[in-house]
Amino acid sequence: MFACGNVLHVHDLVDYVSEEATRAGENAAKYVQNGCKDQEGGKIIQLKATDGARYTVPCTINPERMDDLLTVRFRVGAVFKDSYVSVYFDDERVMHKKKRIMAPGEMEQVILQKKKIAEKPDLKTITIKIEAE
C-alpha cells in the first residue's frame, strides 16, 4: 500500500501533498515494474521522534534506495520558543538548527543527505528531537 497526502498525516500546504503524491506514484510504479524485488533487502534505518517531536514521515529509510536528499517531516507536541531541532545519527548530533517558534499546528522538516548517511555504515537510528540549547 502506498499512502500520501492527508491520509498519511495532515499537511499545512498543498505543495507538501503534491510532493508526497509524486513520490508515492514513483514508488508505486517501481513496485509494479519490479515487484517485491526492489523492496527487499538492504539496510533499514529507523527514524525516531522524541523530546518534543511527535513522529516522523517517513519512519524508516533504506539508504540504498533513498534520493540524494530526503525531506523528513514531523510535528511537535507543544509550543517551543527559541529552541533547536536536532538530528542525531545514533548518539552523535549531526544537525542543530535554531527555530524561533514551533507549534503543533505547523509542520516542521529536516533534510537528510544520502552522502552523510553513507559515511556511517553502522548507523541504526536517526533521532529528531527538540532541545533548549
Whole-model pTM above 0.75?
yes
- Are residues 28 and 49 located together in one domain of the fold? no
Asked if residue 46 and residue 36 are part of one domain, the reply reads no
| 75 and 87, same domain (yes or no) | yes
**Are 36 and 47 in the same domain?**
no
Which residue segment(s) compose the domain that 56 sits in? 42-131
The Cβ-side half-sphere exposure at 4, using a 13 Å CA radius, reads 16
Residues 54 and 28 both lie in one domain: no
**SS3 at position 10:** coil
Q: Mark whether 126 and 111 lie in a shared domain.
A: yes
Peptide bond into 121 cis (omega under 30): no
Residue 83's pLDDT is what? 97
Q: Is the pLDDT of residue 26 over 90?
A: no
CB 86 within 8 A of CB 129: yes
Q: How many domains does the chain have?
A: 2
Q: Given a cut of 80, is residue 36 above it in pLDDT?
A: no
- Band of the pLDDT at 115, cuts 50, 70, 90? very high
Are residues 35 and 5 part of one domain?
yes
The pLDDT score that the predictor gives to residue 68 is: 95
Residues 81 and 96 reside in one and the same domain: yes
Are residues 117 and 52 part of one domain? yes
**pLDDT per residue as tens digits for the range 74-112:** 999 999 999 999 999 999 999 999 999 999 989 999 999
- Shared domain for 59 and 112, answered yes or no, is yes
- DSSP letters spanning 15-34: HHHHHHHHHHHHHHHHHHHH
24/57 same-domain check: no
Residue with cell 519490479: 34
Residues 58 and 6 in one domain: no
